[in-house]
């Protein structure tokens, strides 16, 4: 860390502490204060030295402990008083993370900042669920989509352009709008039998992966009582999840027996 005050906007990844970057880990060891939100896992918080100040700023959808303006002010204020501030965010700070809003506030206040990328949920959760985002012959492109609008406004998405069978759709924050997403994509021409996955608590020991078809997406989430944080993946690549389910297999006794013998 530098001698002058700085706010480090750091991505914590989706939950597994081993997915932190070396830089994120080092900054956590050197911080005077860590400001974190709900998506940062306990396993990652456990890596912060005992003497470091921690400030929880909340931010579950619709249940903000502090609003964004207050968080912006808090970061700038801390930087003026403490030397090293780590603003720790789930996943990547710049993907549906409002890291750029915080950075804009800091730069306008004359506060130095750096940004450390993290592994975003779309990458980690699909990987841990055995779903490649692209695969030759199945998907040549990926779209990251916010499935929730500010103030619970109706989704304003270009459904025609999203209903592309060669594209994998990854929907963040979509749980409250699954019926709408399912209906709009099928109406726009995406096959009702397109495979979909719901990944809850991805990359953690609590990960749950549910597989379904597009026309049963909302019903599956409801029947299985899927809770946040959860990611929705829609596209032909999801069909590979059965064969590539390495993370679930790691937890079985068979696997542990094999690795013990190796």
Ligand X SMILES: C[S@@+](CC[C@H](N)C(=O)[O-])C[C@H]1O[C@@H](n2cnc3c(N)ncnc32)[C@H](O)[C@@H]1O
Instruction: Report d(CA 90, CA 94) in Å as an integer.
Output: 10
Tell me whether residue 41 or residue 194 sits nearer to ligand X (CB atom): 41
Please identify the residue of the shown chain whose CB is closest to the bound ligand X.
91
H or E element that contains 33 = strand 33-36
Considering the complex, what minimum distance in angstroms separates the CB of residue 187 from ligand X? 23
DSSP state of 130: T
Site residues for ligand X, window 7-26 (CB under 6 A)?
14-15
Q: Is 33 in the site for ligand X (CB under 6 A)?
A: no
Q: Is 48 in the site for ligand X (CB under 6 A)?
A: no
Considering the complex, what minimum distance in angstroms separates the CB of residue 63 from ligand X? 12
Q: Is 172 in the site for ligand X (CB under 6 A)?
A: yes
Contacts of 83 (CB under 8 A, 6+ apart): 1, 3, 4, 5, 6, 32
Q: Is 90 in the site for ligand X (CB under 6 A)?
A: yes
Instruction: Report d(CA 57, CA 62) in Å as an integer.
Output: 13
Q: Is 231 in the site for ligand X (CB under 6 A)?
A: yes
Tell me whether residue 45 or residue 82 sits nearer to ligand X (CB atom): 45
Q: Which of 7, 24, 86, 173 binds ligand X (CB under 6 A)?
A: 173
Angle between helices 68-81 and 99-108 (to 10 degrees): 50
């Amino acid at each position: 860390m530098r001698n002058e005050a700085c706010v480090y906007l750091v991505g914590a990844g989706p939950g597994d502490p081993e997915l932190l970057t070396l830089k994120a880990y080092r900054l956590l060891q050197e911080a005077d204060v860590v400001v974190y939100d709900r998506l940062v896992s306990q396993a990652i918080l456990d890596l912060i030295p005992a003497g470091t100040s921690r400030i929880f700023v909340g931010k579950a959808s619709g249940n903000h402990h502090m609003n964004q303006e207050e968080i912006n002010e808090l970061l700038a204020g801390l930087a003026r008083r403490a030397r090293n501030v780590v603003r720790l965010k789930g996943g990547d700070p710049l993907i549906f993370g409002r890291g750029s809003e915080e950075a804009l506030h800091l730069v306008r206040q004359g506060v130095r900042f750096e940004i450390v990328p993290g592994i975003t949920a779309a990458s980690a959760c699909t990987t841990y669920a055995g779903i490649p985002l692209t695969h030759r012959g199945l998907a040549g492109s990926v779209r990251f989509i916010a499935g929730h609008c500010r103030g619970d406004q109706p989704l304003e998405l270009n459904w025609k352009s999203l209903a592309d069978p060669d594209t994998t759709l990854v929907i963040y924050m979509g749980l409250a709008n699954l019926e709408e997403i399912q209906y709009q994509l099928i109406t726009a021409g995406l096959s009702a039998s397109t495979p979909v996955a719901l990944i809850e608590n991805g990359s953690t020991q609590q990960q749950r992966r549910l597989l379904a078809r597009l026309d049963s997406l909302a019903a599956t989430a409801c029947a299985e009582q899927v809770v946040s944080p959860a990611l929705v993946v829609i596209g032909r690549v999801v069909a590979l999840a059965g064969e590539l389910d390495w993370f679930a297999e790691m937890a079985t006794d068979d696997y542990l027996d094999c690795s013990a013998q190796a």
